[in-house]
Amino acid sequence: MGPVVLAVLAALAVPGAAGGPGLLSLRGSWRLHSGNGSVSLRAPVPGCVHTALLRRGLIQDPYYRFNDVMYRWISLDNWTYSRTFQTPFDVRKWQKVNLVFEGVDTVAQILLNNVTVGRTDNMFNRYSFDITSVIKEVNFVEVRFLSAISYAAEQSRCHKAYSIPPACPPPGQKGECHVNFIRKEQCSFSWDWGPSFPTQGIWKDVRIEAYNHYHLIYFSVTPCFVKSAQQWCLEVESIFDVVSSKPIAGRVTVSIPKLQTQQTFSVKLQPGEGSIVLLVNINKTAAVEAWWPNGHGKQTGYDMKTTFIMEAGYKVEKFSKVYFRTVELVQEPIPGSPGLSFYFRINGRPIFLKGSNWIPADSFQDRVTYDTLRLLLKSAADANMNALRVWGGGVYEQDEFYDICDEIGIMIWQDFMFACALYPADQNYLASVRAEVLHQVRRLKSHPSIILWSGNNENEAAISSNWFSIPSSKREVYIRDYLMLYVKNIREIVLSEDRSRPFIASSPTNGLESVKEGWISRDPYDTHYGDTHFYDYNSDCWNWTVYPKTRFASEYGFQSWPSFSTIEKVSSAEDWSYISNFSLHRQHHDSGNVQMLQEVGYHFKLPQSTDPVKKFKDTIYLTQVMQAQCTKTETEFYRVSQSEIVKGEGRTMGALYWQLNDIWQAPSWASLDQRLPYSLLFQIIHPQSKPLKFNGPEKKEVLRRVQRSPVELGKGLEHKSDGEQLRELGMFSLGKRKLGGDLMAFYYLKGGCSQVEFRLFLEVTSDRTRGNGLKLCQGRFKLDLGKNFFTERVAKAAQGSGEITVPGEYGGKWKLLHYFAQNFFAPLLPVAYEDQGVLYIYGVSDLHVDQKLTLRASVSQQDDIYVFALQTTAIAPYVSLDVGSIKGRFSDNGFLMTEKKKVVVFYPWESTSVEELEKSLTLTSLLDVV
């Protein structure tokens, strides 16, 4: 496909001349009561039933302990919102008066003055009900909700021709059934990382709109770029409701002062709902600065004013911020490889998408504030991410979410809200979906951050891989429904409404190859096409050879528990065990707790403390270390794979791990806890998103990974061995040890995954040599570092004398203290020193510790930040700083501390003090656990 060009307009309505629309907000306090009237209270709108009950103290925190099950009665009841309001204008003077809901969750009957004016059945749609003949000076409005659980079950029962799987979630999710029969946030019925809270409420704005002649409903901008003329142009679309019985003529002026551009158009509005499209040519002498993703340039925008002056009616003015950028999804043959590429070209430049997947930030959307969104998104940008995938089982995010992404350069892969299920394709359902898609595309298409529309999450794979055990004789029915929903409806609407960005039908998908195969490919996970989702909880996740050399990794990840300070807020002391009822209840992923321990056990000793609470804390910490190291390994693998083809696979151009944020306090794949502190995953994955420079796709890459600057210590070191490229893995300064000096170790690696060749240099500077370097040993060793090495040889060393036999010129029996994998290229990367003929190997699995670790910190304040001065008496791997419920971020966390002193800066997100931080601080390293 050719370049897709986008300029964005975020519109802000400004009151026009006399005769403008009459507006009355109905936000604020409403009356809320249960189905039988036994519960009645005042409730805020926007809002939902659960948060209203919580604010009035009628329920506990829904996230506390087992309340997701205990409060199931709330979602099973039918609740009603109501209020009276006085119309501040003479309703007889208006041709049309509408009651407008920007979002109703979900199934409701709308009454005004005891007259039914409309019904809702789609959380993602905008509803406008004509109340011209019903509204009075004083009015009574009711929104009578029907339980989403009951509605979904009834819709399923009514679909008698054939079943639509899955009927219910796995039992371990403690969720509700038939979520695919209701157009509602799919994960609100539960997911493998989230609770079941099928909410009811008016979750977005509600208001009265009164107008004469015409009213502007939608306003958007998508630009075009004429290559032959090298000129930008803007396509400005305005959708009106014209209540006049005759056409209305007028003029529209579009002005962008900074680009020396102004054009005026004559227009004519026809009766009814319709659109006018204006083509605005940008002044060719103006230098247009493009919008770039984070890390690739600025996010330049331009102020634009659009003025509508009609013969009849009022003047409408729109003040907007417009951005310019092009986006292409490139799928083309690759020399030396079967299949097609799959990458994004922004403003003509190939961009590696690095980031994560986004889920709803809370089970209760009215609690997701602008500040919450900004903290989460800014955290992603600060971590060098440039992309997020808004996952299809949640919600289309609020306008502020996309505004922030526009501002900070986060590209958005936007799913439509369908996930991990098959869906109905009857006419009523399709009509609701069409209205939803039309509304969301018109609402969102002006944002430069959105670079892709994707029809669903994993539903192509569900059919292709037969997740739901559908007999082959019935498969065609479900394929027909799939094509009807995603291709003949959603895709056609998207292509009609927005040609400024690409569309794919599903994720994962083979892209154009899936289209060629009838939109459902034989293997949507084929690494030679499209994008892939990859999860493996049984293999050793430090072994990078298990990962697919895919074109684009749009989902991958590993679970961990959130920090103890997060869990503590929603649990009691009896819950603080890895095998407690609470821990089992909170884990929604089948065998998840066991899988985490299995991954931990590949490389670490499991906690053995006799104190059950410490053992729980240590286990939580190890799951976070494991998750961080595993995700880091896989991310590095994808980033290195972007410039190489190996056995026909490679050219990976995206790595979006699962998942950025959490919805509640529970084990999950998230890198940011539900209460916003960074997990070890987020801190350790942070450096992995920094820019990498490559020699070019035709050359074998050399990845350089250095713990500290090699400028002084790296002189004269070899970079080739036997004619092969070597990868520099790292450098560590151990600080003063038994020999009384500084030791530095350099490690080099070549070859494959099991046979690792490295050269070890140890230099000691001590008073005995007056500062001169004393070379203790230099040798080359070949070690078999496969799985058996860890499970057998290390285990034997741990159980016996602590010695391990190593072959080679300097081989023999070495005393193994513990080992440490710092990079995915080597399963074993020791930190070592020699003392009295014994080579001590240091790392993360502590078998014998010869020196006691003492780790402490002092806190001081400098202006608006806080400085943590850390000191250690020994090498401290994976140092974790946790300040409990105090929100903010550390400049570094989860690090290997090889110096005696280190300074870490804390950036608070709320008011705090030195005393509060010192009181809340928990310092942990791997040696505290093992």
Which sequence positions are flagged as catalytic? 458, 555
3-state secondary structure at position 490 = helix
3-state secondary structure at position 917 = helix
Helix spans in 542-642 (H): 564-568, 581-586, 592-601, 612-640
Contacts (Cβ under 8 Å, ≥6 apart) of 466:
475
- Token pair in block for residue 661: 């944020």
Contacts (Cβ under 8 Å, ≥6 apart) of 714:
728, 731, 746
Q: CA-to-CA distance for 385 and 388, rounded, in angstroms?
A: 8
**Cis upstream peptide for 508 (omega within 30°):** yes
- Token pair in block for residue 261: 């551009």
- Which residue is listed with tokens 């600065």? 289
Contacts (Cβ under 8 Å, ≥6 apart) of 365:
48, 105, 199, 203, 395, 398
Q: Which of 27, 123, 141 is nearest to 83 (CA)?
A: 141
Using the CB atoms, write b or e for 575-612: b if 16+ within 10 Å.
Answer: bbbbebebbebbbbbeebbebbbebbebbbbebeeeee
Q: Which of 416, 380, 377 is nearest to 396 (CA)?
A: 416
Q: CA-to-CA distance for 292 and 405, rounded, in angstroms?
A: 11
Q: CA-to-CA distance for 846 and 840, rounded, in angstroms?
A: 12
- Token pair in block for residue 571: 């649990």
Q: CA-to-CA distance for 130 and 834, rounded, in angstroms?
A: 84
**Mapped to the 3 state alphabet, what secondary structure does 335-378 carry?**
CCEEEECCEEEECCEEECEEEEEECCCCCCHHHCCHHHHHHHHH
Q: CA-to-CA distance for 405 and 299, rounded, in angstroms?
A: 10
Contacts (Cβ under 8 Å, ≥6 apart) of 545:
753
> Kind and range of the H or E element at 210?
strand 206-211
Q: CA-to-CA distance for 10 and 402, rounded, in angstroms?
A: 10
Tell me the backbone φ, ψ of residue 154, rounded to 5 degrees.
Answer: -65, -40
Q: Which of 789, 787, 735 is nearest to 764 (CA)?
A: 735
User: Does residue 468 come out as left (phi exceeding 0), alpha (psi in the -120 to 50 range) or beta?
Assistant: alpha
Q: Which of 420, 408, 332 is nearest to 376 (CA)?
A: 408
Q: Which of 170, 171, 131, 176 is nearest to 150 (CA)?
A: 176
Q: CA-to-CA distance for 741 and 739, rounded, in angstroms?
A: 6
- Token pair in block for residue 45: 């709108």
Q: CA-to-CA distance for 281 and 303, rounded, in angstroms?
A: 16
- Token pair in block for residue 804: 């391990």
Number of H helices, E strands in the chain: 20, 52
Q: Which of 380, 498, 417, 403 is nearest to 449 (CA)?
A: 403
